Amino acid sequence: MNIQDIFSSFFGGGGGGMEEEEQQILKGDEVIVELDASLEDLYMGGSLKVWREKNVIKPAPGKRRCNCRNEVYHRQIGPGMYQQMTEQVCDQCPNVKFVREGEFLTVDIEKGMKDGQV
């Protein structure tokens, strides 16, 4: 979370004459894969096909408990006597499952690339 996100959560976003931010696309970490390219591919250029798999969130049947929080309430049990109770409250959210999906990616090798070059 960056400092802009913190201020946005306190003050309700970019109102007050500030420019509206474009919706940010969430990205994962970089994936580094070693590829075996021939000397000819490095010298002449070319392309390689690479199989890439990742977890994808898909809807699943049913509901799940989420956004759980503890709520505190007080109950009078006698004159001047109170009891403090906590109760866990959870929302019912759509259920999800993770499915492995893959695709072939084409990696272009530029003419004259060196070993280890990105």
Average pLDDT estimate for 92-105: 90
User: What is the rounded distance in angstroms from the CA atom of residue 43 to the CA atom of residue 54?
Assistant: 32
Average pLDDT estimate for 14-35: 67
Question: Domain extents for the chain?
Answer: 3-109
Q: State the chain's mean pLDDT as an integer.
A: 81
Please report which helix (H) or strand (E) contains residue 58, including its range: strand 46-78
Locus of tokens 């009078």? 76
pLDDT of residue 106: 92
Phi, psi of 111 (to 5 degrees): -60, 130
